[in-house]
Amino acid sequence: MKTCAIFVEQRNQKLCAIGLELISESRRLLTDQAKVTAIFLTGQVEQSHLDDMSACGADEIIVVSDDKLIDYDTHYYSSVLSSIIEKHQFDVVLLGSTLIGRDLGPRISARVHTGLTADATILEFNSTPEKLELFATRPALGGNIFATIICPETLPQMATIRPGVFSIHMDCQKQATIINEIFDVKTPSKVKILKKHPLISDEKDLTKARLIIAGGRGVVNMFDTLKDIALLTGGEVAASRAVIDAQIEPKDRQVGQTGITVRPSVYLASGISGAIQHVSGMDKSELIIAMNTDPDALIFDIADVSIVADAKLVLPLLKEEILSMKHYE
C-alpha cells in the first residue's frame, strides 16, 4: 500500500494543531486507499500525543525520542527525518508551513533530491494501488493566482501546508501501530540555544478567536475604535497587510497570505478591499460581514452580509450600540 507521511511538530512538549489537521485531512481524502503515517520527533513520548494522532486517523506512528530532539534543531531534525524517509520510502511527505516546517522541509528536499511545494492551501490526491499522486495548490504572485504543483519524477512528493486551513477530526477508533526508531546522529549541531524568551501576549491567539474585528486601508485611523469594539465584545482585532505595512498594527495581527489564516464564527471586515492576499486568510470564516464604501470592492464577492456604508461613520455608532446594551445588563 502507498504511504502518505506527516511530520507532526511539537513545541515545548505540546503537540501542534497543524500535525493533527494534516493527519485528519489526509485520512479523509485517502479513505482506506493509502496508509497515513505520522512521524513524531520528541524529547519525551506522551501517550496522549499518540492517542490524538491515532484518533485523527494515523495508521502508524514513527517515534524518535531523544534529549537532542526536545527543541527543534535544523541539523538533528533534518538528519533524523531524512534517514526515516530513506528507510521507509514514503510516496508523500507533508509538513506544516510553520517556521519549523519551512526551515526543515527545504533542507530535506535538497538532501533527498525531491520537489517541495511551499505553503499549499489545497490538497488533492490521486490514489491507485500502483501510484499515489499529490496535487498541492498554493496561492502565487501575492495571492493573485493559484498554482497546482506536482512532483512527477522523484519521491517522496513533498509539500508544506498552511496551518488552520483544515479542521481536526478525532473520530477514528483504531489504535495506530507504534514504530520506535533510534536516534542515530553522530555529528553534533553547530547551533547552541543560549536562552529562550517565551512570547508574552495578553491578547488571545487570533486563530482561536470566535469573533474577529478586522480593519483595512479604509479604516487605518480607526483602530482605537476597532480595539474598543473588540474589548467590549470579547473579540480580537485583525488587520490587512496595508495596515501592517503602515505600522499601525503589529505583524501578528495580520490576516492573509503573508499573515495568518483564521476561521472564526464571525469576521467583521471594515474598510477592507478584499484582495486575494487578505481573503485567502479568512474566507473559511463561518459568517463574514463586510462593510465598504466601494460597491465594487472584492470583499463583497465572498461576504455573507455585504453592507455598502462608510465604516468610519458606522464603527463609532456600533460601539455606542454595544455600550448601550451593556448599560442595561
Partner 1 sequence: MNIIVLVKQVPDTTEIKIDKETNTLIRVGIPNIINPDDLAGVEEALKLKSLYGGTVTTITMGPLQAESMIRELYARGIDDAYLLSDKRFAGSDTWATSKILSTFIKTLEYDLIIAGYQAIDGDTAQVGPQIAEFLNIPQVTHLKQIKKIEGNQIFLDKAYEHETQTLSVELPLLVTTLKAMNTPRYMDAFHIWTAFDKEVKIIKFDDLDIDPRYIGLAGSPTRVKKTYTKQVVPKSPKEVLEPKDAAKKIFKLIYPYMEVKSQ
Residues 53-112 that bind partner 1 (CB under 8 A): 71-72, 74-75, 78, 98-100, 102-103, 105-107, 109-111
Taking CB under 8 A as the binding criterion, the range among 48-56, 86-94, 143-151, 166-174 that sits at the site for partner 1 is 143-151
Phi, psi torsion values for 154, nearest 5 degrees: -120, 155
CB of 23 to partner 1, least distance (A): 20
For 8, the enclosing helix (H) or strand (E) is: strand 3-8
Whether 74 and 192 have beta carbons less than 8 Å apart is answered as no
Whether 144 and 276 have beta carbons less than 8 Å apart is answered as yes
| Closest of 52, 108, 48, 44 to residue 78, by C-alpha | 108
CB of 179 to partner 1, least distance (A): 26
Size of the site for partner 1 (CB under 8 A): 92
DSSP, res 57: T
**C-alpha–C-alpha distance, residues 224 and 230, integer Å:** 10
Cβ closest to partner 1, residue 113 vs residue 131: 113
Q: Is 29 in the site for partner 1 (CB under 8 A)?
A: no
Q: Write the interaction track for partner 1 spanning residues 167-206; mark x where CB under 8 A is met and - where it is not.
A: ----------------------xxxxxxxxxxx-------
**C-alpha–C-alpha distance, residues 48 and 180, integer Å:** 16
Cβ closest to partner 1, residue 181 vs residue 316: 316
CB of 231 to partner 1, least distance (A): 9
**C-alpha–C-alpha distance, residues 132 and 47, integer Å:** 31
| Closest of 209, 211, 256, 206 to residue 229, by C-alpha | 211
**C-alpha–C-alpha distance, residues 53 and 276, integer Å:** 33
Cβ closest to partner 1, residue 100 vs residue 176: 100
> What's the full length of the chain, in residues?
329
CB of 22 to partner 1, least distance (A): 17
Taking CB under 8 A as the binding criterion, the range among 38-46, 56-64, 175-183, 309-317 that sits at the site for partner 1 is 309-317
Taking CB under 8 A as the binding criterion, the range among 26-34, 85-93, 165-173, 293-301 that sits at the site for partner 1 is 293-301
Sequence-distant (≥ 6) Cβ neighbours of residue 58 within 8 angstroms: 6, 23, 27, 36, 37, 38, 176
Q: Is 325 in the site for partner 1 (CB under 8 A)?
A: yes
Which parts of 239-268 interact with partner 1 (CB under 8 A)?
241, 251, 257-258, 265-266, 268
CB of 36 to partner 1, least distance (A): 23
Cβ closest to partner 1, residue 54 vs residue 121: 121
